[in-house]
Amino acid sequence: MELQTLTYIVVGFTFALYIGIAIWARAGSTKEFYVAGGGINPVANGMATAADWMSAASFISMAGMIAFMGYGGSVFLMGWTGGFVILAMLLAPYLRKYGKFTVPEFIGDRFYSRAARAVAVVCLIICSVTYVIGQMKGIGVAFSRFLEVSYETGLLVGMVIVFFYAVLGGMKGITYTQIAQYCVLILAYTIPAIFISLQLTGNPFPQLGLGSTLSGTDTFLLDRLDQTVTELGFKEYTTDVRISTLNMFAYTLSLMVGTAGLPHVIIRFFTVPKVRDARSSAGWALVFIAVLYTTAPAVGAMARYNIMNTVEPEPGQYLAYEERPQWFKNWEKTGLLGYTDKNGDGLIQYSADKATNELTKVDNDILVLANPEIAKLPNWVIALVAAGGLAAALSTAAGLLLAISSAISHDLLKGMLTPDIDEKQELMASRVAMAAAIAGAGYLGFNPPGFAAGTVALAFGLAASSIFPALMMGIFSKRVNKEGAIAGMVAGIGVTLLYVFQHKGIMFIQGTEFLGSMSPNWFMGIEPNAFGCVGAIVNFVVAFAVSSVTKEVPDDVQELVENIRVPAGAGLAQDH
């Protein structure tokens, strides 16, 4: 069966499954819409959280970034997984014990201020909208290649699917849909990796294949890759840091605390019955995430090896453009792979020298999707990868859109503007807000801002600088008051946005990628996508400074902190 027909069948089946689950799990109350009724099994919630977390950035982009950045790409592996440990140990159990629906609601109650809740809503919307842009791109990329439709058509279909299972089912429908999406995306990611690892190294486990010798030789895969890239003028694959060691540290830390502050992930821990289940589901989520994240380095390295061997089969011998393989032609049509014959010899010359490099564009996002085609795997594997990429993008998009809609309907409308509406009216408002959020996300997908290439890392930086510190201080400090929390959130997200747009906005508006050499104006050599950790420090410092010169936290709020942090009868929490 030809690839396009098979892809339509596989993707169509998965979409029918998602819509069917949404109809079956339709939310009938606000509790089911916001937190799936609070009765999800921790193992199931862990799987849904993993799907919610592993977005198009994890499935499509991460291995591509590792492929081209090498060791420098490890910041994403360390940051994103390390952040889940922080979330599991320091935030999830305490927020679940508090028991309210949303992050802004907790911040509003803990800091006894509607203004604090409103600022939290704004921060949440900024972070979530920034993040959802990347998911829209992932949907468009996957559709445009495998279903051979325009980017706009693919994006519109994705919006319709999300509308059905997110608006109808709310968190209840999203949870069960995400469980199905996890199964699809993890099979789509690991099966091609196993095939390719067997091809190159003879080892069926990609994690072990990465450190194995190439089949029929005594040369290790990574040694051969290092040799190939350095011969072409690139930096060594296994040791190249991302700009500087300090920048690597800052980037990793920013992603870690950003992970712990992302609202669409935090809200998942309100869906389990007990506090203990929140920590358990975080542990299960780490297990499910680890399956993909331990495979990603192998996928990245093997994809880089395959693509370089395609264009340069032997050292110094380049592939003729007229003899380029079918996968090359397919991706050229999408505009994500580009070739310019600079010297007129008809050969595809690939090197680090921009003046002579003729493979002028290789988008990071195509490598995971193109790798099975490059390796000449069966069509059913390629079709499965398309379904997996779409599952990853759709699952995270749904979680983000739910976080946005709940902030608007529950926190802004019910919590502040019209507190007298009944549950039926609030549920209707939630669905309208969700539909509006989908429309807004679609608009951003059709008309992405000029700086969209860095949106995923930027979203983590914004969450790190605004939401994470407020939650940490809300749980572990009885001294931070409403004035301090508000000032801290505004200062943290403000300085991060200022730094990002000062250094990044102009370059992206002009259409140039922000992946070049270090800017002389960067603060201590820290790139904008890594600045979230600095914004978090600013948030903490400002919050404690303002709290020290303003009115003390009321006694009843201090007692609230005691109750959140310590089980009944276990004694008082220590003041910090």
Give which of 534, 449, 469 is closest to 497, Cα–Cα: 534
pLDDT at 121: 92
Question: For the domain 3-304+377-565, what is the CATH code?
Answer: 1.20.1730.10
DSSP string, 378-445: -HHHHHHHHHHHHHHHHHHHHHHHHHHHHIIIIIIIIIII-TT--HHHHHHHHHHHHHHHHHHHHHHH
The neighbour count for residue 417, using CB atoms within 10 Å, is 9
pLDDT at 169: 66
pLDDT at 477: 92
pLDDT at 423: 78
Torsion of CA 164, 16, 269, 487, to 10 degrees: -40
pLDDT at 521: 64
Q: CB neighbours of 104 closer than 8 A, spacing ≥ 6?
A: 117, 118, 120, 121, 124, 407, 411, 415
For the chain, the maximum distance between any two Cα atoms, rounded to a whole number of angstroms, is 80
pLDDT at 142: 67
* 198 burial via Cβ count (<10 Å: 0-12, 13-18, 19+): middle
Q: Where are the domains of the chain?
A: 3-304+377-565
pTM, to two decimals? 0.82
Q: CA quadruple 65, 52, 409, 27: dihedral positive or negative?
A: positive
Chunked mean pLDDT (size 10), the chain, 576 residues: 81 84 74 70 90 78 84 85 84 82 88 93 88 73 69 78 73 82 91 94 94 92 90 85 84 91 82 82 89 92 88 80 87 82 86 81 79 88 85 79 82 82 82 83 70 64 94 94 97 91 50 45 80 95 96 92 67 47
Helices (DSSP H) in 294-378: which residue ranges?
296-311, 326-334, 367-374
Give which of 244, 152, 170 is closest to 423, Cα–Cα: 170
Indicate the SS3 state at residue 45.
helix
300-328: buried (b, 16+ CB within 10 Å) or exposed (e) per residue?
A: bbbbbbbbbbbbbeeeeebbeeeebeebb
pLDDT at 257: 93
DSSP string, 458-507: HHHHHHHHHHHHHHHHHHH-SS--HHHHHHHHHHHHHHHHHHHIIIIIHH
